[in-house]
Structure 1
């Protein structure tokens, strides 16, 4: 329990550093794809402006995404640019009443200029399947695993994604949270773990004292 408390403190420190990085990078101007690709450091949270055309025929629906307590999907699509194919998140849309139904997705045609924030999708090892058995489009996926999406779409993707800022332009809601759990919650959990560790120690000491006292009384 003590180890878990220190682990939570470490996670809180990481979240604080991430929050500072987000605040600093959000104050910078929008970078282009060519500028971003020249960077060697962590590129998360950089503002990005990119121009290209969306793959209208093959939109993706990221399953089980919650927004304001409601289950839905985040609409993903591939933006074809002169620098490569970029996965973009266009925003959240509610799920239909029945699981067998999928929401209607209409992607804009023509040349688009999108602004947003750079993200790097992380694969969840607990999720073994990334797509459902249906072969229709839009296709439901369980997580934006770039490697698996490349195989599914038969295209090469850039090693990051774009979270579009103005999702309302496409009729969707912005469900993006760069930090899901703030540092304050980790500190709260750390206090709980340390409190449990202290309680266990007190119980142990009291039980040991009673056991010893019992032996003395018997003697």
Structure 2
């Protein structure tokens, strides 16, 4: 009989530890979700780190003539001899170090092929109605850079033709298909050591691995905070600690 009484008292004490069942059930649902999101962000960070390593390895290869490549791949280093033709396109709303400006796109003719080259960034002036001046050499030049695909965004890139300077809001196949390019779905982004490059500082990935790691830390911190909230708001742990 004594053992039975002790068992009942123990069970009652364990149930009495929880005083807020709705909060307990809510915490039981949210905790696995927060932990799962943190683990998912850690996996994303690992994927981005591996992708960064692959991009760095490809960019470290010797530059090649893109006309001689059997298959085009993003971030493949290339070198071309030729000259710039026509006025540049100003790709609007591009930022560097928090400043708004334009990325300058210009057709480059190498032999019998035409390539669209992204020369880099220039700052916008105080008067947004006037485009900043961009100069380019008339003589033949060697350029180096890497291949980068054209994002096929919706809508028209520009209503201008290849002989007129234009401000464009997006670079897509609607525009490149009208420029008689060798590869309308590819551009060449200049490397910083090309003498016709502007401000490059290319962002190779939209979000670096460190950002996903920071997100994971936030999710795990929220999970810890939830456990602490449950302990002090849904249980009698504080009263028991005081008694001890």
Q: Is contact 1:56–1:109 with CA below 8 Å preserved after alignment?
A: no
| 1:65-115 C-alpha deviation (Å, 9 max, x unpaired) | 122332111111122334643221111111011111111123332433211
Deviation at 1:197, TM superposition (A): 3.3
Deviates further, 182-191 or 193-202:
193-202
Shift of the alpha carbon at 1:117?
Answer: 1.7
Q: State yes or no: 1:105 paired with 2:130.
A: no
Counterpart of 2:71 (choices 9, 26, 39) is 39
Match of 1:142 in 2: 169
Question: Take 2:151 and 2:213, find their aligned partners in 1: how far apart are those partners?
Answer: 24
- Do structure 1's residue 89 and structure 2's residue 118 form an aligned pair? yes
Q: Which has the larger radius of gyration?
A: 2
In the TM superposition, 1:17-96 aligns within 5 A as: 17-36=50-69, 38-39=70-71, 43-57=73-87, 59-82=88-111, 84-96=113-125
Deviations 1:31-84 (A, max 9, x none): 111333x137xx122211123332223x11111212233211111112233464
With over 3 angstroms needed to count, the CA separation of the structure-2 counterparts of 1:187 and 1:71, relative to structure 1, is same
The equivalent of 2:27 in structure 1 is none
Q: What secondary structure sits across from 1:87 in the alignment?
A: strand
CA RMSD between the two structures: 3.1
- 1:165-213 Cα distance to aligned partner (Å, 9 max, x none): 1467337222312235321221111110222234335435655447xxx
* C-alpha separation in 2, matches of 1:52 and 1:124: 29
String of CA shifts for 1:7-35, please: whole Å, max 9, x gaps: 32232122211221122123321111133
Structure 1: 5+ residue stretches without partners: 211-219
Match among 170, 175, 181 for residue 201 of structure 2: 175
Task: Tell me how many residue pairs correspond in the alignment.
Answer: 202
Q: Select between 69-78 and 113-122 the one with higher mean Cα deviation.
A: 113-122
Q: Which residue of 2 aligns with 1:120?
A: 149
User: Under a length normalisation based on structure 1, what TM-score does the superposition of the two structures give?
Assistant: 0.76
Aligned counterpart, 2:218: 192
Distance 2:179 2:194 in 1: 29
Structure 2: gaps (5+ residues): 1-33, 237-244
Asked if structure 1 preserves the Cα contact closer than 8 Å seen for 2:116 and 2:181, the reply is: no
Task: Label 1:196 to 1:84 Cα distance change in 2 as closer, same or farther (>3 A).
Answer: farther
Change (3 A) 1:167 1:67: farther
